[in-house]
């Protein structure tokens, strides 16, 4: 067994008890990376020398005073390549940012480092986080460790693969329409989308600023609660960050679900759910009911309009956010252009991939004179209806559950030629981003030997409730130690 098979709490105990060192943990992580990542493609770049040097410092400090250190002290982690890391190239998996070395780190990175977490490197993703399959990276293909002919989910595919394949103890990703929860489901790990503003976006390369949220991907629910507690909280650098106190998420883990009202939205279950995925969902719902939760059918009638609204609002924000990318200081350069217009055209055409160009074009269109009211303004009204649906439902129930995705991981290339089919992958996840509420995906079973996640959605700042429910499902499923390389232990339909 690899040391990276342990939970973070188990790693922390082992470090305190001197059963192994932080250097050994980091070396174990890089052994996995060296052995597997040539095929899986999770990492865009690693920081081996820096990580080992930091691990040595942690070991010296632990030898002097093992007590009083947080559970992330000396633990190897990694970051999605949309999070700025001081002195380490950050590209958002796009050629237009090739060579960009941030002069500062994102707030979430600083907070992880302040806890003693050790950065292994930067993780692949869909370009500028735009995608549901991680097939839009400008640099390399990332593959699902459970079946390398399958997608890992996007856009935080590298973040999910690194945890699933035991190459990092925890990772950070970003979720704009499901980009943490979807790859978590496809790769059999836990992924948390916090409420909008619960975690600072400072230093996150923006996709859609009113939808983006940073969150953890881990092996266990308790690990995610630990990491979220470390990165959550108000940040003076981010005016949209919440001033509300951060709950003790780890305390919520053992509270159980007895007495909780758990909503099952009828619209979500009418979204073309695969039979194997539906079987896993039904089993998880039964587990919760057996532990004392009360299942309640609820209605979110605006769900059918959420996808269309999202793909107006998000591209509109893309059009605005990516207007600053001009190729002047880094990227593909001007290619010998003789005037400024040609220079920008060359830099942006060569620097942006097809999906990013598609969304910029769509966003520019819906914001243009004569179409703003017909598309963008109307989409924002739908967004309000989606949020109001959730507000009403959360006055009736404590949380909502659904499959995280209608399917398990699909094959590489299967949906590339059909953007609408690709966008529909996010049908069950993106409404939470429109509403700004909390959510988590937890592994609940398998369909045709591929992982299937259960999504738990809670009200705004309701992460603690999400953790309660997810922990109960995790305990009932009892599969978190089953990784891709021990998949033979997983039975169909577990």
Q: Which of 79-93, 293-307, 323-337 has the lowest mean pLDDT?
A: 323-337
pLDDT, mean of residues 26-31:
98
pLDDT tens for 124-180 read 999 999 999 999 999 999 999 999 999 999 999 999 999 999 999 999 999 999 999
Q: Per-residue pLDDT for 30 more than 90?
A: yes
pLDDT tens for 327-354 read 888 988 877 788 988 888 889 999 999 9
pLDDT, mean of residues 182-188:
98
Q: Please, which residues bridge with residue 445 across strands?
A: 452
Residue 487: its pLDDT value, please? 63
CA distance 466 to 252: 9
Confidence label for 491 from pLDDT (cuts 50, 70 and 90) = very low
349: left (phi over 0), alpha (psi -120 to 50) or beta: alpha
CA distance 367 to 326: 20
pLDDT tens for 370-420 read 899 999 999 999 999 999 999 999 999 999 999 999 999 999 999 999 999
Residue 493: its pLDDT value, please? 44
Helix and strand totals (H; E) in the chain: 16, 11
Assess contact for 335 and 110: CB atoms under 8 A.
Answer: no
Report residue 44 as tokens.
């865009």
Residue 485: its pLDDT value, please? 83
Assess contact for 140 and 161: CB atoms under 8 A.
Answer: no
Report residue 160 as tokens.
């999910």
CA distance 464 to 292: 18
CA distance 179 to 127: 12
Residue 492: its pLDDT value, please? 45
Using alpha carbons, select from 79, 6, 72, 2 the residue that is nearest to residue 45: 79
Domains assigned to the chain: 3-302+384-489 (3.90.1300.10)
Mean pLDDT of the chain: 96
* Pairing assessment for the beta strands 261-265 and 399-403 based on DSSP bridges: parallel
Tell the residue number behind the tokens 């924000």, with chain if given.
317
Residue 489: its pLDDT value, please? 44
pLDDT tens for 263-297 read 999 999 998 999 999 999 999 999 999 999 999 99
Which amino acids are annotated catalytic?
80, 155, 179
Across the chain, which distance is largest between two alpha carbons, in Å? 71
- What DSSP designation does 352 have? S
pLDDT tens for 460-473 read 999 999 999 999 99
102-108: long-range contacts, CB 8 A cutoff, minimum separation 24: 102/203, 104/203, 105/203, 106/79, 106/200, 106/202, 106/203, 106/204, 106/214, 107/200, 107/202, 107/203, 107/231, 107/235, 107/237, 107/238, 108/83, 108/172, 108/199, 108/200, 108/203, 108/204, 108/214, 108/231
Q: Per-residue pLDDT for 95 more than 70?
A: yes
How many Cβ atoms from other residues are within 10 Å of residue 106's Cβ?
27
Assess contact for 440 and 190: CB atoms under 8 A.
Answer: yes
Q: What is the pTM of this model?
A: 0.96
Q: In terms of residues, how long is the chain? A: 494
Q: Per-residue pLDDT for 494 more than 50?
A: no
Confidence label for 488 from pLDDT (cuts 50, 70 and 90) = low
CA distance 195 to 241: 10
Phi and psi (nearest 5°) for 158? -60, -35
């Amino acid at each position: 067994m690899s040391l990276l098979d342990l939970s973070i709490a188990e790693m922390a105990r082992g470090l305190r008890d001197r059963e192994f060192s932080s250097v050994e943990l980091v070396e174990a992580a890089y052994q996995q990376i060296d052995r597997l990542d040539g095929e899986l493609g999770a990492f865009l770049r690693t920081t081996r020398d820096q990580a080992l040097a930091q691990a040595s410092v942690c070991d010296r400090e632990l030898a002097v005073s093992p007590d009083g250190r947080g559970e992330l002290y000396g633990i190897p982690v990694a970051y999605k390549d949309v999070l700025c890391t001081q002195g380490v190239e950050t590209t958002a998996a796009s050629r237009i940012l090739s060579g960009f070395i941030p002069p500062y780190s994102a707030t979430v990175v600083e907070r992880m480092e302040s806890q003693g977490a050790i950065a292994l490197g930067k993780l692949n993703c869909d370009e500028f986080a735009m995608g549901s399959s991680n097939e839009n990276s400008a640099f390399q293909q990332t593959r699902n460790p459970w079946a390398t002919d399958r997608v890992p989910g996007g856009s935080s595919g590298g973040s999910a693969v690194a945890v699933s394949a035991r190459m990092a103890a925890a990772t950070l990703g970003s979720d704009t329409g499901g980009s943490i929860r979807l790859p978590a489901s496809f790769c059999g790990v836990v992924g948390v989308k916090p409420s909008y503003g619960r975690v600072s976006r400072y230093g996150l390369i923006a996709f859609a600023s009113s939808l983006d949220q940073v969150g953890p991907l881990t092996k266990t629910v308790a690990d995610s609660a630990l990491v979220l507690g470390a990165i959550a909280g108000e940040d003076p650098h981010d005016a949209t960050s919440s001033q509300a106190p951060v709950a003790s998420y780890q305390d919520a883990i053992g509270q159980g679900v007895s007495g909780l009202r758990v909503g099952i939205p009828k619209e979500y279950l009418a979204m073309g759910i695969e039979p194997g995925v539906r079987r896993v969902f039904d089993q998880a719902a039964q587990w919760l009911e057996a532990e004392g939760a009360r299942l309640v059918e609820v209605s979110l009638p605006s769900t059918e309009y959420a996808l269309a609204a999202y793909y107006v609002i998000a591209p509109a924000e893309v059009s605005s956010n990516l207007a600053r990318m001009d190729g002047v200081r880094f990227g593909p350069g001007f290619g010998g252009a003789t005037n400024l217009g040609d220079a920008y055209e060359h830099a942006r055409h060569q620097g942006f991939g097809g999906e990013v160009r598609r969304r910029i074009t769509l966003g520019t269109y819906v914001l243009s004179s004569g179409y703003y009211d017909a598309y963008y303004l109307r989409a924002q009204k739908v967004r309000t209806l989606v949020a109001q649906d959730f507000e009403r439902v959360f006055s009736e129930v404590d949380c909502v559950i659904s499959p995280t995705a209608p399917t398990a991981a699909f094959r590489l290339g299967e949906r590339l030629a059909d953007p609408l089919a690709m966008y529909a992958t996010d049908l069950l996840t993106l409404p939470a981003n429109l509403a700004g509420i909390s959510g988590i995906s937890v592994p609940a079973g398998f369909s045709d030997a591929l992982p299937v996640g259960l999504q738990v959605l809670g009200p705004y700042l309701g992460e603690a409730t999400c953790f309660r429910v997810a922990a109960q499902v995790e305990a009932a499923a009892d599969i978190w130690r089953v990784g891709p390389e021990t998949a033979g232990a997983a039975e169909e339909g577990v």
